[in-house]
Amino acid sequence: MAHDKIVDHYSALARTALTGQRITDCDPTAFTDGGFGPAGYDDTAVLPDGAVRASLGCGNPVAVAELRAGETVLDLGSGGGIDVLLSALRVGPHGTVFGLDASPAMVELARRNAEQAGTSNVRFLNGTIEAIPLPGHAVDVVFSNCVINLSDDKATVLAEAFRVLRPGGRFGVSDVVTTQALDEQARQRAEQRIGCAAGSLTVQEYRDLLAAAGFVQIAITLTADHGDGVHSAIVQAVKPAIGPGLEIRPMRESDAAEVLAIHQAGLNTGQASFETTAPSWEGFTASRLPHLRYVAVDGDSGEVLGWVAASAVSSRPVYAGVVEHSVYVHPGCQAHGIGRALLSAFITACEDAGVWTIQSGVFPENAASLSLHQALGFRVVGTRERMGCHRGVWRDVMLIERRSAAVGA
């Protein structure tokens, strides 16, 4: 559906709900048997009847969001407000829940339901999920209920969710997905049954978009089966954690100058590599995988403070899950936990991508690097003696690797 058509459709439903009627957005049988609307909840007795009648979701994301007292939470496409009101109970009086909806009528309905519930720690916003009207690092949790599948620009939605989350923040949504690409006939059949499958992603497409946005710990759990490969699902992910005022995100081409400057500074120490001069950006990109490359940045200025990236070790299929990595931190920002945060995020992203072995070579004299890697599960495989002459000295290289306990075990 085009954006304006979607807004008109749900505005009409909201106006119906404002008259006190129950609304549905799919076949009545699917609505009950598939867990849509209030059928997906078991804790609605404390809510106003109007909020329950206006529920149009495909699950209960609040049940899996693991909300904690005092947290700030955002519901994308909050509709009549059922998930916002349930979340408000969980975060308590010191927490805040934002509900965002593109339909002014839905916002009006949600505000009325909140008033009837006597809930004061909620804020309803009128706007689109592709341009969230909140600053960066504003919330601890982003959730949504059968709304992201309706967007024509899901990559932007997920990028916006990543932007407004604080480091370590959680993403947990109920949505409709497919296990494979649907032909037009199958998609139309699903649309007739459940009303919200037209824009659904495949499971792999969803995973790829979440990873591209910067999320890690990606998990997609299929729930109700609606036939033709269409499922309700719980989609969960995490924004990488790092210290206050910082952020870990995917590396961009616009980061080139800062990434290469940090690379050169590391080479200048004489302890990072046999290389003495950082490559051009073209050379850097050509030798590293297009994914699995991240930067740590200052949250205010955007300055790059460190980076991590992976290279393939072989083009042979048997080594598809084996990568070599490099991690560098700005010389003025070492001993601040940046390298550890970057490497931790990288390890998790590798496992999300099906990588079972991460390996590298480290000079024995680089005690800080060895200590960091060993603290995060790397082991020394062996030492290659007198591997190369570096600045007039023949040097040994210690081979380190980390085998995943989750992938390829």
Domains in the chain, number: 2
Q: Please give the Cα distance from 151 to 314 (Å, whole number).
A: 39
Tens of pLDDT, residue by residue over 251-309, are 999 999 999 999 999 999 999 999 999 999 999 999 999 999 999 999 999 999 999 99
Domain boundary among 187, 203, 238: 238
* 318/388 same-domain check: yes
Tens of pLDDT, residue by residue over 105-152, are 999 999 999 999 999 999 999 999 999 999 999 999 999 998 999 899
**Kind and range of the H or E element at 305?**
strand 304-312
Quick one: how far is CA 218 from the chain centroid?
7
Q: Please give the Cα distance from 381 to 390 (Å, whole number).
A: 22
**Kind and range of the H or E element at 131?**
none
Q: Is 104 left (phi over 0), alpha (psi -120 to 50) or beta?
A: alpha
* 290/321 same-domain check: yes
* 334/217 same-domain check: no
378: amino acid identity, one letter: F
Range of the domain at 177: 3-238
Tens of pLDDT, residue by residue over 195-221, are 555 578 999 999 999 999 999 999 999
What sign has the CA pseudo-torsion 220, 225, 229, 231? Answer: negative
* 61/146 same-domain check: yes
* 77/147 same-domain check: yes
The per-residue pLDDT for 52 is 47
* 180/150 same-domain check: yes
For the chain, the average pLDDT equals 87
189: amino acid identity, one letter: R
Contact 134, 164 (CB under 8 A): yes
Tens of pLDDT, residue by residue over 332-390, are 888 789 999 999 999 999 999 999 999 999 999 999 999 999 999 999 999 999 999 99
Domain boundary among 238, 267, 282: 238
Give the whole-number percent of the chain exceeding pLDDT 70: 81
Tens of pLDDT, residue by residue over 29-56, are 444 444 444 445 455 555 555 444 444 5
